[in-house]
């Protein structure tokens, strides 16, 4: 089992046409985001323009949530408009032309099609509330992002995860237990890679 804690100092920040993006984690570690050769990637970006067009990621499925602010998403050939409130998750195909309106800070998970999939949950934990999850497959990676607040990973090891920090657990099968110190917003992911 490997557990690592990532803070904002570990995130790789770059500019994009609508603001800044911080790469939280990428797999494999030597993958290059600009080459689109990664299997999965987690990032958080600021959207600083009123309207923006999402970059084409045809080989990826995407999840997005806003951490601060609300945005409206419009997907080409989809008559629906999707208003995302804070910590509301939305999944879409990275090949579909997507535009957004509104300014926010968002959270993104990208998964290479036919190779990676994820179970992802947005959790709003109250003080002393406990969340448990059982990992049953050893090809899974657990990613716990604390967007707001403070939590403790109490099992399999004791680790404090603060505001905008991320814990990654690899090579582990068994129970994960999280306890919140205060009102905390968390994005919890189990990423599986097909062998």
* CATH code of the domain containing 147: 2.60.120.10
Identify the pLDDT of residue 178: 97
- The last residue of one of the domains, among 57, 83, 112, is 112
181 with 156: CB under 8 angstroms?
Answer: no
Domain that holds residue 61: 8-112
Identify the pLDDT of residue 194: 86
Instruction: Judge whether 33 lies within some domain.
Output: yes
pLDDT (tens, 9 = 90+) of the chain, 195 residues, equals 999 999 999 999 998 878 899 999 999 999 999 899 999 999 999 999 999 888 899 999 999 999 999 999 999 999 999 999 999 999 999 999 999 999 999 999 999 999 999 999 999 999 999 999 999 988 899 999 999 999 999 998 999 999 999 999 999 999 999 999 999 999 999 999 986
The answer to whether residues 143 and 76 belong to one domain is: no
The answer to whether residues 56 and 76 belong to one domain is: yes
The answer to whether residues 17 and 105 belong to one domain is: yes
Identify the pLDDT of residue 95: 97
**In angstroms, what CA-CA distances link 80 with 74, 75, 99?**
7, 8, 12
Q: How far apart are CA 75 and CA 18, in angstroms?
A: 18
Identify the pLDDT of residue 97: 96
Identify the pLDDT of residue 65: 98
**In angstroms, what CA-CA distances link 87 with 27, 107, 117, 136, 188?**
24, 9, 20, 26, 11
Omega prior to 87 cis, within 30 of 0: no
Instruction: Judge whether 2 lies within some domain.
Output: no
- The last residue of one of the domains, among 67, 84, 112, is 112
Give per-residue pLDDT as tens, 60-100.
Answer: 999 999 999 999 999 999 999 999 999 999 999 999 999 99
141 with 92: CB under 8 angstroms?
Answer: no
- The pTM of this model reads 0.95
Identify the pLDDT of residue 104: 96
The answer to whether residues 102 and 141 belong to one domain is: no
Q: How far apart are CA 53 and CA 16, in angstroms?
A: 11
């Amino acid at each position: 089992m490997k557990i690592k804690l990532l803070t904002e100092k570990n995130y790789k920040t770059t500019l994009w046409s609508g603001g800044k993006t911080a790469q939280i984690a990428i797999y494999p570690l030597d993958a290059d985001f600009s080459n689109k050769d990664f299997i999965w990637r987690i990032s958080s970006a600021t959207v600083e323009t009123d309207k923006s067009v999402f970059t084409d990621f045809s080989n990826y499925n995407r999840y997005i949530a806003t951490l601060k602010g609300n945005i409206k998403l419009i997907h080409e050939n989809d008559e629906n408009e999707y208003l995302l409130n804070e910590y509301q998750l939305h999944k879409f195909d990275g090949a579909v032309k997507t535009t957004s309106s509104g300014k926010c800070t968002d959270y993104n998970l990208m998964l290479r099609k036919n190779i990676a999939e994820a179970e992802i949950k947005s959790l709003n934990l109250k003080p002393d509330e406990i969340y448990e999850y059982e990992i049953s497959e050893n090809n899974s990676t657990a990613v716990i992002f604390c967007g707001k607040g403070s939590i403790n990973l109490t099992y399999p090891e004791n680790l404090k995860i603060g505001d905008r920090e991320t814990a990654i657990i690899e090579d582990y099968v068994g129970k994960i237990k999280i306890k919140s110190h205060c009102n905390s917003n968390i994005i919890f992911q189990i990423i599986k890679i097909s062998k």
